[in-house]
Amino acid sequence: MNEEEGGAPAGVTRRTAIGGTVAVGSALLLLDAERVEATVQSSPPPRAGATLAIRPIVNGRAAPVTIDPRTSLLDLLRERLGLTGAKKGCDHGQCGACTVHVDGRRVASCLTLAAKTDGREVTTIEGLAEGDALHPMQQAFIDHDALQCGYCTPGQIMAAVACVREGNATDRPTIREYMSGNICRCGAYAGIVAAIEDVAKKGRRV
């Protein structure tokens, strides 16, 4: 390929069909069904003959969507439903950054086939706060600076809420053990333990 120094590369074709500007800061707080429909419609259709129609309940709202059966719950949330709070850190169930709740239990969404969530309740970090009121665990993470870069934080918080609900926030060693599925590479573990201990001690309903 020949190119002129400093000029536009040869072979660049711009498809006018791909208009639209980049939407920054459009993370959805609460998902409404219409928005989900719109998101689904704007996503490319998976290959014919290998699709599945599923209807998970995401953060309390139905999210009917047609998927490629290979799709993970994590990729469904992030790439199709615009819910980017859950993060990809390994894609193999080894880091915990993708932790969400399915039917009230914490799971690794990267190792969960999206197909499995048909008809099930999925709760993500976006569904934790009630309006402007932070969930007590979110506030405790702020109070104890239980985060640095923040990338693992949604997964940590979803795991932490589950840790308390399971009754595994009884003391520091138990919290540490039951939070060991969530790697924090910045090393905010001490703050994370303190935040969970704080919430558990105050006996707040989480």
Partner 1 sequence: MRSFGYTRPDSAQAAVAAFAAAGEGARYIAGGTTLYDLMKLDIERPAHLIDVTAIRGLDAIETGGDRLRFGALAPMSEVATNRTVLRDYPVLAESLAKAASQQLRNMATVGGNLFQRTRCLYFRNGAGGTSAGTTYPCNKREPGSGCAAIGGLDRGQAVLGQSASCTAVSPGDWPIALVALDAYVEILGAAGTRSLPVAELYRLPGNTPHLEFTLAPDEIVTAIVVPKTRAGRRSAYHKIRDRESYAFALASAAVALDMDNDTVRQARIALGGVATRPWRATAAEAALAGQRLTPDTAAAAGRAALTGAVPGRHNGFKIDLAQRTVADALLIAAKRTTA
Partner 2 sequence: MTSAPFPDRPRVDAREKVLGQAQYAADVAVPGLLYAMLVPATIAKGSVRSVPVDAAMRVAGVVRVLTASDFPPPPAGGAGGPPPPPTITDQIAYRGQPVALVVAETLEAAIEGAEAIRPTYAAMAFVATIEGDGVEPQPVEPSTGGDADAAMARAVTRHEAEYVSPAQHHNPIEMLSTTAVWEGGVLTVYEGTQGSNMAKGALMRTLRLSADQVVVKSPQIGGGFGQKGGAQRQTAIVARAAMLLGRPVKLVVPRGQIFHNATFRPKNRHRIEIGADAEGRMIAVRYDADQQQSRQGQFPPAYHESPPMMYGIADYHGTAANLRIDTQAPGYMRAPTPHPSSFAFDSAVDEMAVKLGIDPLAFRLKHRATRDPIDDKPFSTHFLHECLTEGARRFGWDKRPLAAGATVRPDGTQVGWGVGCGAYPANVHPTIATLRIGADGTTRFAAAGHEMGQGIRSTIEQVLVRELAIDPAGLEIAIGDTSVAPQHVTAGSWGTASAVIAAERAAASAKAAMADLLAGRTPPAGNLHRQLATVRRPSIQVEVTTTGPGQGAKEVERLRQGGMAVSGPVYPQFTSFSYIAHFVEVHVEPRTRRIRVPRVVSVADCGRVISPRTAASQVRGGVVWAISACLREATEVDPRYGGWLNNDLADYVVAVNADIGEIDVAFVDQPDNMFNALGAKGLGEVAMTGCAAAVANAVYHATGKRLREMPFRIENLL
Site string for partner 2, 15-34 (x = CB under 8 A): x-xxxxxxxxxxx-x-----
Question: Is the separation of the CB atoms in 73 and 57 below 8 Å?
Answer: no
Longest dimension (CA), the chain: 69
From CA 106, how far away is CA 161, in angstroms rounded?
Answer: 9
State which H helix or E strand residue 158 sits in: helix 153-166
Least Å from the CB of residue 116 to partner 1: 7
112 binds partner 1 (CB under 8 A): yes
- Number of chain residues interacting with partner 2 (CB under 8 A): 88
Shortest Å distance, C-beta 152 to partner 2? 5
Handedness of CA 118, 160, 74, 22 (dihedral sign): positive
Give the whole-angstrom CA distance, residue 25 versus residue 18. Answer: 20
Binding to partner 1 in span 144-203, by CB under 8 A: 159, 162-163, 166, 168, 176-178, 180-182
Among 54, 130, 191, 201, binds partner 2 (CB under 8 A): 191
Instruction: State residue 58 phi and psi, 5-degree precision.
Output: -105, 120
Q: Which residues bind partner 1 (CB under 8 A)?
A: 47, 50, 52, 68-70, 72, 91-93, 96, 99, 105-108, 111-113, 115-116, 118, 159, 162-163, 166, 168, 176-178, 180-182
